[in-house]
Amino acid sequence: MNMAVAPHRNNLKASIVVREKLDFKLDLHIPRYWYGNDAFMTRFWGGVFATFPEGERYFISSLRPFRDQVINSNLQQEMKDFMCQEGQHGLVHTEFNQILQEQGMPIDKLIHYQHRMFNFLLGCFSAKYNLAITAACEHITALMMECFFTKKDTMAHVDYRVRAMLAWHSIEEVEHKAVAFDVMNVVNVSYLTRVSAMLFLVFFFTIDSLRMTNYFLKADGFSFLQRMKLILGGISKLFGQDGMLAPMGKSFLKYFRRDFHPWQQPTLAHYQVWLDVYEQTGDPIAAGEAFHQAGK
Ligand SMILES: [Fe+2]
Ligand SMILES: [Fe+2]
């Protein structure tokens, strides 16, 4: 099957725009427990976000081998824009990582580990499998970002600068969510490869995120028992029936349908709010605030 261009795009305004040098005022005024003083949520998401710079370099590396196989000029341009957006995400999350490091988190060690892990994936798996892992990551990231901002309550107690950084990252993840998937279709990655990469990712992501949470909580000085209590309580906050990530369950499962395409998933209703406020003010913090306030 050769589907070079997104066939189900339901919002033509969600085109990929590369935005550079956005200032989120990320400095040491960010509180230590920036997720509403919640140690588990701060360290869980801090661990996930700490992966982004290396992860986003991996996404770029996994698309690069296929540049010459894509002949559709729209998709070629989208691949370039995808790489530029992910590059910018990496830069801003590196700034955020530096703050976590200065607040006592062992970021350097973590990045060293991630660097080796992503190189291992690139070296040991085929180019198509790495592309399928990237497409799976893009689906998960886009759904996760939607979970952050669909309901106002979810991010209500997060520091406003971190929230603005995530709002920008979220809208750009929505804009480029189909690029890796479209490349996967052009180079004929099989259905089996696509779904096995997703299963591999979910298993690995869950285990590794909780491992990093434990690592960060340990650096905070929590004892083993305190950490286990925080992690067990945190798992239900995330994955329980009313958990933060529960709304993404149905959309996640759609990835396993043979005829799935990322643009079948509707774009966040208030996506345009971020664009409008950013265009009017040039201020990504004001845009992030308006975007958050526009949630349900
Ligand atoms: Fe990203
Ligand atoms: Fe992405």
Q: 248-261, pLDDT tens digit by residue?
A: 888 999 999 999 99
- The token duo for 248 is 């993404």
Ligand 1 centroid–CA 72 distance in Å is 23
**Residue 230 within any structural domain of the chain:** yes
pLDDT at residue 155, as a whole number: 94
**Residue 179 within any structural domain of the chain:** yes
Ligand 1 centroid–CA 134 distance in Å is 11
Using CA atoms, how far apart are residues 103 and 183, in angstroms rounded to an integer? 40
Q: How many domains does the chain have?
A: 1
Instruction: Report which bound ligand comes closest to the CA of 82.
Output: 2
- The token duo for 246 is 């529960």
**Domain enclosing residue 171, as ranges:** 39-270
SS3 call for 170: helix
**pLDDT tens for each residue of 28-69:** 889 999 999 999 999 999 999 999 999 999 999 999 999 999
Instruction: Report which bound ligand comes closest to the CA of 137.
Output: 2
Ligand 1 centroid–CA 85 distance in Å is 7
pLDDT at residue 2, as a whole number: 38
Instruction: Report which bound ligand comes closest to the CA of 91.
Output: 1
**Residue 282 within any structural domain of the chain:** no
pLDDT at residue 103, as a whole number: 94
Contact 121, 201 (CB under 8 A): no
pLDDT band per the 50, 70, 90 thresholds, residue 5: very low
Ligand 2 centroid–CA 49 distance in Å is 12
pLDDT at residue 242, as a whole number: 86
Ligand 1 centroid–CA 224 distance in Å is 33
Ligand 1 centroid–CA 207 distance in Å is 21
Residue 1 above 80 pLDDT? no
pLDDT at residue 131, as a whole number: 98
**Residue 294 within any structural domain of the chain:** no
SS3 call for 31: coil
Residues 9-16, mean pLDDT to the nearest whole number: 60
Please give the share of the chain, as a percent, with pLDDT higher than 70.
95
Ligand 2 centroid–CA 280 distance in Å is 25
Ligand 2 centroid–CA 221 distance in Å is 33
How far is residue 83 from each of residues 110, 120, 124, 233, measured CA to CA in Å? 23, 21, 23, 37
Ligand 2 centroid–CA 84 distance in Å is 10
How far is residue 137 from each of residues 87, 126, 140, 173, measured CA to CA in Å? 16, 17, 5, 11
Using CA atoms, how far apart are residues 103 and 167, in angstroms rounded to an integer? 23
pLDDT at residue 288, as a whole number: 96
**Residue 24 within any structural domain of the chain:** no
Alpha helices in 51-106 (DSSP H): 52-63, 73-102
**Residue 25 within any structural domain of the chain:** no
pTM: 0.92
Contact 14, 271 (CB under 8 A): yes
**Residue 17 within any structural domain of the chain:** no
